Structure 1
Amino acid sequence: MPKTEASKTDASKTDTSKSAAPGVMVPNLWNPRSRQERLEAPQTGRPVRFLTDDEFPPLHFSGPDGTPTGFVVELARAVCERLSITCTVQARRFDTLLDALAERQGDVVAAAIPLTPALRARFLATRPYFRWPARFAARSDRGLPAPSAEALAGRTVAVLGGSAHAAYLKAFFPKALAKDFTDLSAAQGALKRGETDYLFSDGLTLALWIGGTEAEGCCGFLGGDYLENRYFGEGIGFVARREDVALSRALDDALQRLWDEGKYTEIYLRFFPVSPF
């Protein structure tokens, strides 16, 4: 399986990725050995109703015409096309999505709800189609080395105090000098001003900042991604009711095929010009 361009420390051995465009890494979250005969979605006589939230770009948000869009939403639409089924997408408040699914107001949740044991005890979920990589960022003009336990010794690293990223830094980069911040924008500002050597945080949020106007091109990712489940979770997948086994398995199969056919990569590049991976 292909490797990411960036080298990884032993603490960051995770899913593999591939480079689909110069400097853009696309995560490969599928196991090629799990391929099977094509699974058909059950025919219910009505559209499969996807539920999402419209306030979390670039994963799911309201488009210019008010229609839900985003990486997760367009992936759901591609899955429906791949399965040759009719689907609808309805936006609801994020904290009501799982209850709406349980009350049969929809059939599948397509939103950034973390996959956890508690969620799996209540619902079925596909394998993750997106995960939350942790990344190091640094000023682009400093020429700092790629992060490793040795390279970070004695160097300052901004983290959110009490976060999973702070705990990971302490466990795997014990000689780094952690600088705790209470909010990410303050940590980003400190990195931009050169008041800290590195920033270690959620890759998605950092990617949006690095590619946005606020960073003013100051900074970029350094090193690889870190996806340790115990610290950063399993990621997100499509969520269905426990009795809808055939639908959940068909969604899983369709996701694998979208990856194989390059459709996943096509959608990913539309919404992640700076990849979190």
Structure 2
Amino acid sequence: MKKTVLYFIILTINISYCQKQRAGQPYAQPDLLIWKKDTIQIQTFPLYCLSKFDQSKLFGNKNVKPECWGCLKNYTAEWKIIKDKLYLSNIYSFNFKKDSIKADLNELFPNKIKNNLVSVDWYSGNLFVPKGENIWMSQSPGFPIYESEWNLTLKKGKIENAVFKTGNYHKSIYTQDPKEIVSFIDNQLDQETRTKLKNKRISIIFKTGKSKNNYSVSIKGINDKNLEMKLINTLKKLPDFDFYYRHGEELNLTIPVTYIDNRP
């Protein structure tokens, strides 16, 4: 009887804070953007670009702390785009639905606020606005990868360019159902190769790329170079594999698979 064990692990994630994405950062509570009559959760945080920003001072003497594992922000900022300009309209506590605490924008921005809106003239960079369907890359902490997104380029808070990108991810059957990898290997390999692989614990490492055919494969646990290359070349024949884009950049995800063949 054959026994095959598969482990799929996503090792690297990116979260954009100010302008630059940083690999491996913990999950951060999204901000809100009101644009074109929609309210959208975003993972770009213009407040982090504000000189001498200190979130501990947002709510005066009120003690507001994030209440979830891995969360960094104690607030949710609300932004609005009006006539191609970005404004800050509210800063809510992380737990606003329970404590109803909001920051006093008049106190925080006495020289920038007008009609209860703060002109975001300190922010120059990209603002990524997701759109369409999404998938979650991990359970905890996690963030969604959206099918499409707007990349808004701002200079001192004013939109200078807007680019819409779609087709940001492809999730193959091989990560949706690991048994498909087993089936593919079994159908491709000849009897001689299967015999050589018998009772071996093999680590197959997939690295995602820019498209469904732009992935790489490496093998650990095989001392026979010819056998190793044969298995790699076999796996390179997969008709497709995963790819993921977020905030305009490909996510380089390493997906290890442990394959144990205990075939009699």
Give the TM-score category using the shorter length: under 0.3
Higher relative contact order (CA 8 A, sep 6+): 1
Larger Rg: 2
Q: TM-score, normalised by structure 2?
A: 0.22
Q: TM-score, normalised by structure 1?
A: 0.22
